[in-house]
Amino acid sequence: MKKLNRRFFLKGGMAGTALLADTGLAKKASAADTFGGYPDSMGVLVDFTKCVGCRSCEAACNKEQGLPAPDKPFDYMSVFDERHKGQKRRTTEKAYTVVNRYNIKDREQGPVFRKFQCNHCNEPACLTSCFVNAYTKTKEGAVIYDPTVCVGCRTCMIACPFYVPAYSYSNPINPVIKKCIMCYDTRLKFGRPPACVEACPQEVMTFGKRKDLIKLGHNRIQKNPEKYIDHLYGEKEVGGTAWMYMSDVPFEELGFNTHLGEQPIISYVKEFLTIVPMVLTIWPALFTGFYLLANRKEAFKNEKPSGNE
């Protein structure tokens, strides 16, 4: 009777594992689907051919977000020559957006100025990497975060393919992540564009629905094929971003990573991550069961002679 039970149990166990493996596979298949962003989310189209490097956007961001005073006034153009460990300026806890100058060889109009800030991905890597769920992708398109939840682990800084999130290193008690929130609280929520967009004298940035901006961008390229590179950076990169860029020089020359691929960062780990809960919950119980059963047989064998005596 006991033997039968054991066999039955093992059989059931095998079937269960097979079933789990099956559902795991089914999940894998659906993991190929990507979210693709909210349908009516907003975005910004940045046209580098129009930027003159006046840094008004930086000043506007500073005022709108109530950031601390800058190290140098916003009309100092010497910042374009700054190098931090050999790198051009990047976003910090004091500056959610920065403009950098790229000297392009043989470009008639002179250097290209590139504005840099959070790209507000459709499927943000920072969001998926955050284990306290501090991040939210709003239906308006902004990637915002709750600093009261942030524990300051900096995983998102490593996850972000664009190296955007900055860290409040100056705060020794409770350092948190700092980054552009597309002026969500003060503007985007009410249908208004971010402060930098409105401050720009050259109207380098166009604000609108992301899907309209894609059309507009391609239209602009089509009308001026001799001017623009035929690529809207951010349309497809890492699953699409709310901020998209057009340029007359190859994007690599402006410090863009053009090898990120079109898959959202999460799709690289999705398959693995779906197995983790299964492994963590079922495997210990299953293998402990196996172990106990195996040992029980041994114990039964050992007990037998003593029983006969």
Partner 1 sequence: MTRTRNTFLVIMITLALSGWPPVFGQAETGPDSAELDTLAQLYDAVAFDHAAHVEMVEGNCARCHHHTTGVAPTNPKCLRCHPGGQEADSMACKDCHSEKRFESAYLAEIAANTDRFHTDIPGLKGAYHRNCLGCHQESGGPTGCADCHARNEKGDAFFSSGKYAPKSPQKTSGH
Residue numbers at the binding site for partner 1 (CB under 8 A): 50, 52, 54-56, 59-60, 62-63, 69-76, 82, 84, 90, 92-94, 109, 157, 166-167, 169-170, 190-193, 197-198, 200-203, 206-209, 212, 216, 219-220, 223
- Minimal distance, residue 155 CB to partner 1, in Å: 14
57 or 238, CB closer to partner 1? 57
**Residue partners of 79: CB distance under 8 A and separation at least 6:** 55, 72, 89
Angle at 192 between CA 224 and CA 92, to 5 degrees: 85
- Minimal distance, residue 75 CB to partner 1, in Å: 5
- Minimal distance, residue 59 CB to partner 1, in Å: 5
- Minimal distance, residue 284 CB to partner 1, in Å: 39
1 or 69, CB closer to partner 1? 69
Determine the Cα–Cα distance for residues 207 and 210; give it in Å rounded to an integer.
8
153: tokens are: 């682990």
13 or 175, CB closer to partner 1? 175
Residue with tokens 């989310």: 41
**CA-based nearest residue to 13, from 277, 282, 286:** 286
228 or 266, CB closer to partner 1? 228
How many C-alpha atoms does 123 have within 13 Å on its Cβ side? 18
- Minimal distance, residue 114 CB to partner 1, in Å: 18
For 121-184, the three-class secondary structure string (H helix, E strand, C coil) is ECCCHHHHHCCCCCEEECCCCCEEECCCCCCCCCHHHHHCCCCCCEECCCCCCCCCEECCCCCC
184 or 207, CB closer to partner 1? 207
92 or 247, CB closer to partner 1? 92
- Minimal distance, residue 96 CB to partner 1, in Å: 13
208 or 261, CB closer to partner 1? 208
CA 100 → CA 48, 67, 194, distances in Å?
11, 20, 19
Residue 205 phi/psi, 5-degree rounding, is: -105, 135
For 46-73, the three-class secondary structure string (H helix, E strand, C coil) is EEHHHCCCCCHHHHHHHHHCCCCCCCCC
- Minimal distance, residue 92 CB to partner 1, in Å: 5
Determine the Cα–Cα distance for residues 225 and 93; give it in Å rounded to an integer.
39
Determine the Cα–Cα distance for residues 150 and 131; give it in Å rounded to an integer.
9
